[in-house]
Structure 1
Amino acid sequence: MAESTPPPPDLDPSIYSLDEHESAFFKSQTGIPDDEELKKHILKVQEKAYKVYPYPCIRRFAFASLKISRLPAYERFLQLGKERNCAIFLDIGCCFGNDARKAIDDGYPLRNVIASDLRPEFWELGHELFRSTPEPFPVPFIPGDVFDPAFLQPAPVVYSPPSTPVPDLSSLTSLTPLIGHISAIHASAFFHLFNEQKQFELAQKTASLLSPEPGSMIFGSHVGLPHKGLRTRRGRPAGAPLFTHSPESWRELWDGHVFDEGKVRVKAELKQVERPDLPPGDVHYLLVWSVTRL
């Protein structure tokens, strides 16, 4: 019998942990009822994904934490999907697509969901993780770099209904045709990957996609601090600090810079969270936020 290849030294299976809701979700999605078998399955996919790109969120099993359903805006988001005709939902920086799958499982119409990430290998590994194929789970996936104008053309925020028709989601090869048409955008563990200027540019680009209808929203979470500035982050190369917004600077970014002042309601708060992969006493904050058109 051939010996199994040990996982990369950065990976630590001991920090694997699913709470009651996460365990129930993954068991129902994968069809694996046994806890130990489910753990082995998730560890196998984690190892493959870490070789694609060693994101810290993959190393610490953040993909299993069901981020979207823990956000304060989640229930409003689900209601938007039920009440608005053709309420397109984009999960950007989706990785395995677990948040899109959770939203669909909770009732968001599958026909209105799309996902995007820089690396298509993660979406493919998402099918392996959830033991699915594109036939029973036909959510369109659009790979690409959001900063590439060929993928998402720079455009101003839309304040009146766009003149372009709503595109067929299954035919898309870029995000540009969706400018002004998206009802909800989820972006978690995404903005903090970039410096201050790139975060501003990313905010502008996602805002251009948003429908002008009241209630359209962008929401998510990422690393935050009580005061905006630079901090070092575990898993980043030495000397590469992480630019981090505070709730106050995040609100100012969206209300008055990205959108005209008074045109959106911005909610942002810091939550101190436990990180089993960090040393005791290392305080970690998440900035939890939503931007809703008025």
Structure 2
Amino acid sequence: MNCIVVLLNFLKMSTDEFAEIKASFYIDEPPITGDIETFFANYASIPTLALRDHLIAIRERAWQSCNYPCLGRWRFLRSSIKQSPIYAEILEKCKQEGATVIDFGCCLGQDVRQLVYDGVPIDQIRGYDLEPFFIEQGYELFRDGEVMKEKKIFAPGDIFDNQFLNEIEPAYYLYVGSFIHLFDAETQRDVCRRLTKLAKRVIAGRQSGASIAREHPKLTSLTGGKAIQHSPESFTRMWDDVTDGEWQVESATLETIEDVKGSDKGLIFVVRKQERQ
């Protein structure tokens, strides 16, 4: 969702409506763990005593731009690509065989940084997001703007821009975290077809999920419209249908994510291109 549209909708909201959204999706304190402290100390050279204020400052700027639950609930501090069942495969193939990775809808770029942190050569990774603002905030969050800009790792990208899709060199692995679930059922089908243009062999990711597929109003009144939460079964059927079996779901499992606002179900998936006989 373009943040200009979000802002226009935001201006129409009442104070009570905004307060309700913030109450649902906003957690004041960052859930800093030992692993998070270690990551930021080693990757971004941010000492533990300075980390809380640094995270709050970046999150506030991002939240004021777009009130996404993943920002309000600090989900960007939890690298979702690391939870993928094929993460070890991705690391090995990238390090040993030079495989490439695209993180599409990368937001602040936390999964790109996780790959770099775990030893994937930076030149084999690219990140795209609709909003250049999020890319810039990622540079601030991880304090790596100089090298990331020099290497041109990040760039704006719109999944509905055919020229963009035709110009981008597809990667062996495509990662899409918290992206497909943003759309209604029919648009998700179109998005899946378009994502196959960015991947050579594997599409992996996570998104909100449900035990039984259901369509619902989008998570905030800022975005409007409807979205669909897939079950593992409906997600599998969708991919088989829209690609005529060329791309098949290898795994689709539900996980429970908990924080002080409650718990959500996430759908972790791997979709792999089938060899033609």
Q: Which amino acid counterpart does residue 250 of structure 1 have in structure 2?
A: F
TM-score, normalised on structure 2? 0.82
2:277 aligned with 1:292: no
Q: Which has the larger strand fraction? A: 2
Structure 1 runs of 4+ off > 6 angstroms? none
Distance in 2 between residues matched to 1:124 and 1:262, nearest whole Å? 36
Q: Output one character per residue of 1:36-66: Cα deviation in whole Å (capped at 9) or x when no partner.
A: x201101100111112222111111111111
Q: Secondary structure at the match of 2:127?
A: strand
2:119 aligned with 1:124: no
| Aligned-pair CA distance for 1:81 | 0.7
Q: Which has the larger helix fraction? A: 2
- Does structure 2 retain, via aligned residues, the 8 Å contact 1:229–1:244? yes
Q: Which residue of 186, 208, 215 corresponds with 1:230? A: 215
1:192 paired residue number: 181
Matched-pair identity in %: 28
Distance in 2 between residues matched to 1:106 and 1:228, nearest whole Å? 35
Q: Output one character per residue of 1:87-108: Cα deviation in whole Å (capped at 9) or x when no partner.
A: 2210101111110010111121
| Aligned-pair CA distance for 1:275 | 3.2
Question: Cα–Cα, structure 1 residues 139 and 69, in superposed 2: closer, same or farther, change >3 Å?
Answer: farther
Distance in 1 between residues matched to 2:69 and 2:148, nearest whole Å? 30
1:17 paired residue number: 31
Structure 2 unaligned spans of 5+: 1-17
- Does structure 2 retain, via aligned residues, the 8 Å contact 1:92–1:187? yes
2:258 paired residue number: 274
1:206 paired residue number: 195
2:109 paired residue number: 97
| Aligned-pair CA distance for 1:200 | 1.0
Q: Which residue of 214, 217, 241 corresponds with 1:257? A: 241
1:159 paired residue number: none
- Does structure 2 retain, via aligned residues, the 8 Å contact 1:15–1:60? no
| Aligned-pair CA distance for 1:238 | 9.3
Q: Aligned pairs, how many?
A: 252
Q: Which amino acid counterpart does residue 34 of structure 2 have in structure 1?
A: E
TM-score, normalised on structure 1? 0.78
| Aligned-pair CA distance for 1:263 | 5.4
Structure 1 unaligned spans of 5+: 1-7, 154-175
User: What is the root-mean-square deviation of aligned Cα atoms in Å?
Assistant: 2.3
Q: Secondary structure at the match of 1:127?
A: helix
